Structure 1
Amino acid sequence: MSKTIKIEPNLQFVKELQEVGGADLKKCYQCATCSVACPMSPADNPYPRKEMVWAQWGLKDKLVNDIDIWLCHNCGTCSELCPRGAKPGDLLAALRNMTYRKLVKPAIIGEWMSSPKHLPILAGIPMAIFAFIWMIRAALVGSFFPLTEDGKIVYGNLFPGDFTIDPLFGLVAIFVAICFGLGIKNMIDGFKANVTETFVIGYKKPTLKDAIIATIKYDVLQHSRFKNCVDSPADEERVKGHQILFYGFVACAIVTSIVAVALWGGKVIPWLAPVGHTPMPLWHPVKILANVGAVLLVTGLTLLTRRRLNSDTKKSVSNYYDWYLLGVIWVVTLTGIGAQVFRLAGVAPLAFFTYYLHLVSIFMLIAYLPWSKLGHLVYRTTALIYARYIGRLPIDEKLIEDDKIFVI
């Protein structure tokens, strides 16, 4: 006896989806060209055809808990080959954008991230915070652009790390970690309710440790699956830019960690204090690593921005989420470089103002991370780990290179 399935379309969800990038979803007439053309789509229960059906029907719960929207790397091949111009790639990107907004509370931040009209709020919060610190500190030291006794610019004289900047960003980091933790829990709960384990006979089920190691090794460090998602020089440039940008972030994260550990650890272990003393001379190993990271960031950003500016509109369409992320990272990078250049040049007003903007942009990058496109660093990685753990993706490198998915 056949089982009756009750479907309750969410028409408001369809409207929201169209507004954030899925405007052409109703053009789809289910030819399955997208799933056949996708180099990443597994043979079992392939995407993005099913996502197009669910989107047209307004099946919100199935879509927001769909693991496959995170396995897509948005190469745009499906959109380019779609005979109706339905742009399935843009639909999956729109679904990810909606998930960023709604996966974790406070939901208001997700709403602010969804439209440029809220950008003054997102920027205004850190601008007010750091302007307040600047004014209070300036009143204490007697100058808005304080110099040392020998006439040098030291940003710590205006924005002290030990009792203003580090505690502030420490609290922000804790807030972001809690939000990501809740987001990951919500994501996995959704996967458990909607994704079925699939394994071939004789294929040993991986442990969670196996899945984590494989994902970090192949997807995070080597970009193996991402590299399979290439069918043009523009796609190669995108992968290269993404990987270079990633390692630029890694370099800067290492530098920040060394300075923070030295600053706070030096209060307990005195010999650590000189390690992170700033400003550092240009020949200092940590400073060299910081400048290498800056070069990598500029290179990666240039490749990704050029690719986005020159992208074929039939293949993909840029949205606000894309440009917000690129814009904030550009500001972080250029103000970081500018703060160093103006400090070395001894131009105090420009140096301190540039450093102020640098702090504002870093806050915008980090504090809103769980609701921004950069949140894919956590959410996509979580989805890839879970997909390997349940057999949706292969564990070993050869299967990744051949993009072979085994199912029972």
Structure 2
Amino acid sequence: MAEEMVVKPDIEFIKRIQSAGGESLKKCFQCATCSVVCNLSPDSRPFPRKEMIWASWGLKDQLVRDPDIWLCHFCGDCTAYCPRGAKPGEVLGAVRQVAIEHYSTPTFLAEMVNDPKYLLFLIAFPLILIGAAIHYFGNFSPEGPVVYSKMLKPWPYVDFIFLGAAAYAVAVFAKGVMAYWQDLNVNPWKVRLKENVWLAVAEVVKDILFHNRFRKCTTYFNRSTSHLLVFLGFVGLFIVTAWASSYEWIFHKESPYAITDPIKWLAIPSAISLLWGIWLVIRDRQNPPENAGPGSYFDWLLIWVIAAVAVTGALCLVLRWMGLATLAYPTYYLHLVSVFFLFFYAPYTKMAHMVYRATAMIYAKLAERE
């Protein structure tokens, strides 16, 4: 006799998925076309068919801890071939958003970040914080040549604000990832962190660096290029930031740096990569393949924040070269605000994909899920 299973649907969870971009969920009639056409789905317990079932039933606990929602890279193949227009790719995107909210601390902040009616409030926080720092410890309109450190000294003010934002984001990510790993590492896929863990990490890092999984996509194949450009731009600019910090803290070398300085040889190509990549992302999102949508607010929030960081950063450089102080310093202020927004709210936006997806990919390697 078959074992009985009691299903207790979470109606609010279903509504949350639908409101987060998965409004087509109930069109699914379980034909499994999505799992068949997906080039990333494993042969055993393939996705996204089972996730569509769980989402339709409102099985929140089952879904948020499911590694397969992160192994999905939203190739769009499932959405393009779905005969019912159920858009499994968009549904899994909504599930990932809910999973981020579930593992984030505090949860209410994650919900605010992903609700457009709170956007102005969220922007106001860094505007006021950085504005107050400039008002009390710096100068909104310094005299002489454009030197951004005259507006607000990097140490202790800029560094303190941004190191604090980064530390907060890291702490929230660490708490969320530990909770997620604990939920992941249960039967039927319980794994041990054994001797091959570093090999798994190395393989995942290689996959991320070269976007190997993205390149298996068909419908959204061009996303592999745009995402890779954005990713490489971020990596390059992160190295530039660390490099500049060493100039400031160790060698006591103040900015601005000459165009012949090696730091510029990395900074300028990285900025171009970021600008080019985010432009391609915006272009592709505005012209989606047939049957696919342009994306949800959750998708576009990160896109526009990255665009703001890239554009204001580039303008800061150009306006400084042109000596237009009246435009350069307000632009630098907006650049600081956009960078703070990007990193402080990172655990609650789509940027969290990098952390939770990497965790799921490592788990999948250890569990031989791939």
TM bracket (short chain): over 0.9
Code of the residue aligned with 1:367 in structure 2: it is: F
* Aligned counterpart, 1:191: 184
In structure 2, the residue matched to 1:208 is: 197
Tell me how far apart the structure 2 counterparts of residues 132 and 194 of structure 1 sit (CA, whole Å).
Answer: 51
Partner of residue 273, structure 1: 252
Q: CA deviation at 1:2?
A: 2.7
Q: What's the offset of the Cα at 1:190? A: 1.3
Displacement of 1:321 in angstroms is 1.2
Aligned to 2:221, the other structure's residue is in SS state helix
The match for 2:224 is 239
TM-score between the two structures when normalised by the length of structure 2: 0.96
8 Å Cα contact 2:25/2:87 also seen in 1: yes
Between the aligned residues of both structures, percent identity stands at 39
Q: Distance in 1 between the 2:41 and 2:3 partners? A: 28
- Please name the residue that 1:23 is paired with: 23
Query: Normalised by the size of structure 1, how large is the TM-score?
Result: 0.87
Structure 1's consecutive aligned runs of 4 or more residues displaced over 6 angstroms after TM superposition are none
Give the equivalent residue in structure 2 for 1:65. 65
Following TM superposition, by how much is the alpha carbon of 1:197 offset from its aligned partner in structure 2, in angstroms? 5.1
**Match of residue 320 from structure 1:** 297
| Distance in structure 2 (CA, Å) of the matches to 1:354 and 1:288 | 23
1:259 aligns with 2:244: yes
**What is the aligned partner in structure 1 of residue 129 from structure 2?**
129
**1:352 corresponds to 2:341:** no
Residue type of the partner of 2:205?
Answer: I
Task: Specify the SS of the correspondent of 1:193.
Answer: coil
Deviations 1:336-376 (A, max 9, x none): 11111111211112111000000000001000111110111
> Cα deviations across residues 80-99 of structure 1 (Å, max 9, x unaligned)?
11111111111100011111
User: What is the match of residue 155 of structure 1?
Assistant: 148
Q: How does 1:9-408 map to 2 (within 5 A)?
A: 9-138=9-138, 144-147=140-143, 151-193=144-186, 195-196=188-189, 207-217=196-206, 219-229=207-217, 231-232=218-219, 235-264=220-249, 266=250, 272-274=251-253, 277-312=254-289, 314-393=291-370
* TM-fit CA distance, 1:170: 1.1
Offset, 1:288 = 2.2
CA contact (8 A) 1:35 1:41 kept: yes
Verify the 8 A CA contact 2:64 2:102 in the aligned structure 1. Answer: no
Structure whose alpha-carbon radius of gyration is higher: 1
Q: Which runs of 5+ in 1 are unaligned?
A: 199-204, 267-271, 394-408
Aligned residues: 368
What is the CA-CA distance between 1:313 and the residue it aligns to? 5.4
Number of the residue aligned with 1:201:
none
Q: Which runs of 5+ in 2 are unaligned?
A: none
Which letter does structure 2 place at the counterpart of 1:54? W
How big is the shift at 1:216? Answer: 0.5
Give CA-to-partner distance per residue, 1:272-320, whole Å, 9 cap, x none.
223xx21001121102211111100111111111111110351244100
Partner Cα distance (1:392, 1:155) in 2: 50
Which amino acid in 2 is paired with 1:345? M
How far 1:8 moved relative to its partner?
A: 0.8
> What secondary structure does 2:22 align onto?
coil
RMSD over aligned Cα, in angstroms?
1.5
